[in-house]
A and B are shown apart, each in its own frame.
Chain A
Amino acid sequence: MALKMVKGSIDRMFDKNLQDLVRGIRNHKEDEAKYISQCIDEIKQELKQDNIAVKSNAVCKLTYLQMLGYDISWAAFNIIEVMSASKFTFKRIGYLAASQCFHEGTDVIMLTTNQIRKDLSSPNQYDTGVALTGLSCFVTPDLARDLANDIMTLMSHTKPYIRKKAVLIMYKVFLKYPESLRPAFPRLKEKLEDPDPGVQSAAVNVICELARRNPKNYLSLAPLFFKLMTSSTNNWVLIKIIKLFGALTPLEPRLGKKLIEPLTNLIHSTSAMSLLYECVNTVIACNKHGLSFSQLCVQKLRILIEDSDQNLKYLGLLAMSKILKTHPKSVQSHKDLILQCLDDKDESIRLRALDLLYGMVSKKNLMEIVKKLMIHVDKAEGTTYRDELLTKIIDICSQSNYQYITNFEWYISILVELTRLEGTRHGHLIAAQMLDVAIRVKAIRKFAVSQMAMLLDNAHLIASNTQRNGICEVLYAAAWICGEFSEHLEEANQTLEAMLRPKVTTLPGHIQAVYVQNMVKLYASILQQKEQSGEKEAAQEITQLMIERLPQFVQSADLEVQERASCILQLIKYIQKLQIKEVPVAEEVIALFAGELNPVAPKAQKKVPVPEGLDLDAWINEPPSDSESEDEKPKTIFHDEEQRHSRHRQPEIDEEELARRREARKQEQANNPFYIKSSPSPQKRYQDTPGVEHIPVVQIDLSVPLKVPGMPMSDQYVKLEEERRHKQKLEKDKKKKKQKKEKRGKHHRHNSLHTESEEDITPAHHVDIITEEMPENALPSDEDDKDPNDPYKALDIDLDKPLADSEKLPVQRHRNAETLKSPDSEAPPVEKSKKPKKKEKKHREKERDKGKKKEKEKKVVEEEEEKKKSSKHKKKKHKKEKEEKSKDKKKSKKKHHSEEEATESVQNGTLDDEPLPVSSCALAALTYDIQGNLQNDSQVTVSVIFENKSTSFLKSMELNVLDSLNTKMLRPEGSSVHDGIPVPFQLPPGISNEAQFVFTLQSIVMAQKLKGTLSFIVKNDEGSTHEKLDFKLHFSCASYLITTPCYSDAFAKLLESGDLHMSSIKVDGISISFQHLLAKICFHHHFSVVERVDSCASMYSRSIQGHHVCLLVKKGENSVSIDGKCSDSTLLSNLLDEMKETLSKC
């Protein structure tokens, strides 16, 4: 044996180890690939040997090669061999290699199950650790299913090192095997309170990760996390919890209120920037209303942004943009800072700052901000950043329907200035804006047209370098605007000439096509103008010009251009003939383009409702069948009959008609600026066409900064605007002064502080923004963009529902005679195979369950106590703030209640609402609230608020209830049923406090009433007396229900399942609104609305014992009918009775 080992070692001497391999690769820089392929051959030889040391060395080298990009999956089996080595050294190498290259597609992975299980249960914690680490990388659904139970056991390992690893791996297991989440969750929750901070942190990490994807299922953990947040000092944990709260608060607004205080405390106290930042983030998320907090956040963020550390600056801006969404005002005051960041050398920071600008503009500062941005555009060196700036400028200006633009002349000139950008990809964006503004802002058309004419005139500057120059897209817009609104053109002749220049033919085809089309429009309006003024010769001249120049487009390689040009050429030749005969033609020509185009909303087409009886999927013409086989029938099954009819009657459309229609459609499309045509790159084609080749293309040297002659500078508008505003302000002030004089005395200094507000700025000229057209009776948009392939969707599991017996992790037992060897033994748990054993197992499970339940119960009690503590804690703080005012109010309110309803017992359900009184005397009042226990299916928690109404001190309070067969109060162990439970506090005069009592029940299908007594000692100056207060606890059926959200599909399935009993009630004389009615049912009976259509709604709730209750509520004129379905008929009828009672009170 020893000899063999020595021999093995000597063999190894001649093998390369990892270091040799690395060195070798470094020494073979020129022929690295060849060298490595040599090495791989050697490795293959080594893998064939029996010596595990040699094998593991080879695998180690493979891991290195994997990093260099070599596929090593062929060695998967060898890797498994090394993984199963007994020595830790080798095992670790094996697991490392596996973690780098195994995945769900690795077929041999199923061979590892037993090996991993063995390692997981190894006495050596590092074997276990290595196995866990490896597993975290390559766990598959099969492995997850088979090993879930083992890993869950490890969560309670004695070593915290293993516990924390196991906890983290569980997340991966949940992802691959979602069924394991519910059984494992209680233990995971336990780990939140693990004595080891590392394990605690791991548990927080996993739950946060889970909750991030499906926050609503984790709302019930909020109190626990709240406690952790106030107690933990580990910043990692705090950050995770605070992030989690950020995800929970949108679902539970009340949580936000509670969080504000501890979070602001943290913000003020912490020195860790990371924690501060996350606190601010969460405050932003949970504080949608309070202004003061957002100001605090903004102040803190300002400090971050002003910091010299670029990282803090970046994060500050990031968080700022979140505040911006809810509190734009508080961010706007920091405009200076954000504009400063635009100058930062760091592009990430500049981009963040740009994002912020979007929300910061107002009518007042838009021009100024855009001016700054324009300066940056000029300075920007990289095209990507410059393009980003360009899109941002357009975004900022066009946001919410040009809300902030007061002067559209200014905006047009900004757009024109932007056309000076060379090499931008966003020419089409500018073009779209030009079109949009010109079409929708009628008042600006004249100005826009003059600017566009200028652009066309200077087209040679813009389109100087058509290769890869996106900016020439603006010519598309310019040509269209000049053509369409040609009546506004002053020098139409000149523009027409500009459009007919030979240079135009170098533009992309789709732009030329627009040119050609719009030339005619221009021509038509010139013609009309000339004819009206009687200049016949001029009219003929212009016709001649067209005829001379158009042929260059007729020769175009672009089909669209060619077709349009030749059509138009013929048309104009015809016009010329008429002109020679001195027939007035202008009216007719202009009639070609009569009518105005209206802007159409982008989604309008989609929203046109499909007319009744129109089947869009039906064939109009039967598709030519590919094969002769008759098997292939059209897909439509239902409309077969009708279709056949229509097919026969369909009149044959002849070719001509089709062509005509096509042409008409094309014309229509060409005239429609919103019709997007495909733009093939035309450059290549020009080179092939002989006709275009001889056209001289003059390249213009553009080293001199571009300055388009005659273009207005946007800057001048800024000045003008300022002057205008100043004037306006003066006028206003004058008016105000007048008013002041009139109202003297009434108004105080207020006006002197007057600052320009948004509304004060009136637009320069009246702007009539035409809204986009929408089809009549447009359908509501259905923007359902949930990704059905979301892997986290499977983890959307209700965790509050009590565990059913069937929900167990599959347990792999020791090799039974029946279980087959290796791979097959991983098949799902053995349940169906053997009956006698199953019983045994069940028994065992039951026992274990009992143990668990006890544990759980204990925890529940503890938890609630903690809840109480924290709430007490809060109360104390609140007191300071709210003073006695609110207390007094409450008291009076309560008194009011208790006087009225002292004997009547009413109960309600929700957590935070004020419980109603059940009993009161001169000395004390008792109010209570029953709540189903989320963790246990046979318990409810009764929260009782004790209020001292006397002027004496109340102490030694003891609450006792006469148990019924069904419902019993949970008493401490060892006490008899006749003993009361001491209330854990004393009450000074005028104070109230809350205590909770747990009741166990067997059946929940019936309402219960329990009689009880509260005994206490009243102590005052005169001495102490023993007093008693009798009360009744009413456990309605509704109090056993837990509000549970339900999706409509799940709801439908439930109804379809058919194992529900049905019952219904009808209540007349209901006058309240349906909305109100639903709210009442939700509130008093713990239901949630599944779906609501008009005056009909489906509702759902679940009892603590898992009964499903479904309701269909319909409201008629003065009545309401409720149909209920429930797994238990008695429960249902009782629930409906209760509901009837509630509704009849409305």
Chain B
Amino acid sequence: MINAVLVFNNHGKPRLVRFYQHLAEEVQQQLIRETFHLVLKRDEHICNFLECGSLFGGADYKLIYRHYATLYFVFCVDSSESELGILDLIQVFVETLDKCFENVCELDLIFHMDKVHYILQEVVIGGMVLETNMNKIVAQVEAQSKLEKAEQGGLSAAPSRAVSAVKNINLPEIPRNINIGDINIKVPSLSQFM
């Protein structure tokens, strides 16, 4: 079981918080902070697994994380999950984000937290892995946004679109921080795995 999926940036600012068991908001924030401090201490090029003691309430839990440019993707899992499998799953999740947002960057995650949640929901549901095939995930996500667009096709959508157009006019070009294509993360077994 996956206990939590956390995404935060290099400064510990949460970008996606998904706990699969209920915790009070303060506890959630505390866990994010502590996880961040644990992960931050670690160099690049050391292993991506982290025993977190009783942080998540049980020695069985392990943190598995990947660091992409400005973002940390952390999965907290118990012993029923394969460590390398989850590592690949993070990669799948990030690649899916990259596909859905077309060159994903931290700002995409900041401004479209809801959408990121919807994508995650196609990958993990209730702490269990739902789908690992990126193309299938993307297809489901796109089918749902199509449905959403169709619903907005009526009168109501037009003005709001106009509004957002106006709002964006005086904004400088949003810098794209993460470019997954350039980072080219080494995934030891991804190709064989999928």
Question: Contact mask B35-73 → A, CB, 8 Å, 1/0?
Answer: 000000001011111110000000000000000000000
Which residue of A66, A132, A240, A345 is within 8 Å of B43 (Cβ)? A345
- B84 contacts across to A, CB distance below 8 A: 273-274, 277, 311, 315
A272–B51 Cα gap in the complex (Å)? 24
Question: With A243-B82, A271-B192, A274-B193 in contact, do A168 and B130 touch (Cβ < 8 Å)?
Answer: yes
- Tell me if B182 counts as interface (CB < 8 A to partner A): no
Which residue of B14, B17, B193 is within 8 Å of A272 (Cβ)? B193
**Contact at A9–B159, with CB atoms within 8 Å?**
yes
Q: How many residues of B contact A (CB 8 A)?
A: 65
| A83-104 at interface with B (beta carbon < 8 Å) | 87-89, 92-93, 96, 100, 103-104
Q: Which of A11-19, A488-496, A579-587, A938-946 contacts B (4 or more CB under 8 A)?
A: A11-19
Across the interface, name the chain A residue whose C-beta is closest to B48: A311
Question: With A20-B167, A67-B14 in contact, do A311 and B156 touch (Cβ < 8 Å)?
Answer: no
- A351 contacts across to B, CB distance below 8 A: 51
**Contact at B151–A212, with CB atoms within 8 Å?**
no
- Tell me if B132 counts as interface (CB < 8 A to partner A): yes
Question: With A19-B164, A93-B114 in contact, do A274 and B51 touch (Cβ < 8 Å)?
Answer: no
**Contact at B47–A89, with CB atoms within 8 Å?**
no
- A273 contacts across to B, CB distance below 8 A: 84, 188-189
- A674 contacts across to B, CB distance below 8 A: none
Question: Contact mask B176-192 → A, CB, 8 Å, 1/0?
Answer: 00000000000011001
Which residue of A96, A138, A345 is within 8 Å of B117 (Cβ)? A96
- Tell me if A208 counts as interface (CB < 8 A to partner B): yes
Which residue of A10, A26, A240 is within 8 Å of B159 (Cβ)? A10
**Contact at B144–A164, with CB atoms within 8 Å?**
no
**Contact at B188–A235, with CB atoms within 8 Å?**
no
Question: With A239-B82, A272-B193, A274-B85 in contact, do A13 and B159 touch (Cβ < 8 Å)?
Answer: yes
Which residue of B28, B121, B160 is within 8 Å of A9 (Cβ)? B160
- B28 contacts across to A, CB distance below 8 A: 69
Closest CB-CB distance, B86 to chain A, in whole Å?
A: 9
A-B contact count (CB 8 A): 182
| A129-178 at interface with B (beta carbon < 8 Å) | 132-133, 136-138, 161, 164-165, 168-169, 171-172
**Contact at A53–B156, with CB atoms within 8 Å?**
yes
**Contact at A208–B130, with CB atoms within 8 Å?**
no
Closest CB-CB distance, B144 to chain A, in whole Å?
A: 5
Closest CB-CB distance, B2 to chain A, in whole Å?
A: 11
- Tell me if A40 counts as interface (CB < 8 A to partner B): no
A206–B28 Cα gap in the complex (Å)? 26
A19–B111 Cα gap in the complex (Å)? 5
Which residue of A9, A235, A274 is within 8 Å of B155 (Cβ)? A9
- B113 contacts across to A, CB distance below 8 A: 18, 22, 63-64, 67
**Contact at B159–A12, with CB atoms within 8 Å?**
yes
- Tell me if A8 counts as interface (CB < 8 A to partner B): yes
Closest CB-CB distance, B180 to chain A, in whole Å?
A: 20
**Contact at B155–A89, with CB atoms within 8 Å?**
no
- Tell me if A1087 counts as interface (CB < 8 A to partner B): no
Which residue of A19, A26, A274, A310 is within 8 Å of B82 (Cβ)? A274
Closest CB-CB distance, A49 to chain B, in whole Å?
A: 14
- Tell me if A1047 counts as interface (CB < 8 A to partner B): no
- Tell me if B10 counts as interface (CB < 8 A to partner A): no
Closest CB-CB distance, B83 to chain A, in whole Å?
A: 6
A925–B147 Cα gap in the complex (Å)? 68
**Contact at A60–B131, with CB atoms within 8 Å?**
no
Which residue of A124, A198, A208, A235 is within 8 Å of B80 (Cβ)? A208
- B129 contacts across to A, CB distance below 8 A: 201, 205, 236
- B1 contacts across to A, CB distance below 8 A: 209
**Contact at A165–B148, with CB atoms within 8 Å?**
no
A125–B68 Cα gap in the complex (Å)? 34
- Tell me if B87 counts as interface (CB < 8 A to partner A): yes
Question: With A69-B26, A136-B126, A274-B193 in contact, do A236 and B152 touch (Cβ < 8 Å)?
Answer: no
Name the 5 nearest CB pairs between A and B, nearest first: A136-B126, A274-B84, A103-B22, A346-B46, A310-B47
Can you add 20 more A-B contacts, CB < 8 Å, to A53-B156, A88-B144, A126-B147?
A: A8-B156, A13-B160, A18-B111, A20-B167, A60-B114, A63-B113, A71-B25, A92-B148, A136-B127, A137-B126, A198-B136, A239-B82, A271-B189, A274-B88, A275-B193, A310-B46, A345-B43, A346-B43, A346-B46, A349-B46
A residues at B contact (CB < 8 Å): 2, 5-6, 8-10, 12-13, 17-20, 22-23, 26, 53, 60, 63-64, 66-71, 87-89, 92-93, 96, 100, 103-104, 124, 126, 132-133, 136-138, 161, 164-165, 168-169, 171-172, 198, 201-202, 205-206, 208-209, 212, 235-236, 239-240, 243, 270-275, 277-278, 309-315, 345-349, 351
Query: What are 24 A-B interface contacts by the 8 Å CB criterion?
Result: A5-B154, A5-B156, A9-B160, A13-B163, A22-B110, A26-B110, A69-B25, A69-B26, A70-B25, A88-B151, A92-B118, A126-B143, A126-B147, A209-B128, A235-B85, A270-B192, A273-B189, A274-B88, A274-B189, A275-B193, A310-B45, A310-B47, A311-B83, A311-B188
B residues at A contact (CB < 8 Å): 1, 14, 16-18, 20, 22, 24-26, 28-29, 43, 45-51, 80, 82-85, 87-88, 110-114, 117-118, 121, 125-132, 136, 140, 143-144, 147-148, 151-152, 154-156, 158-160, 163-164, 167, 188-189, 192-194
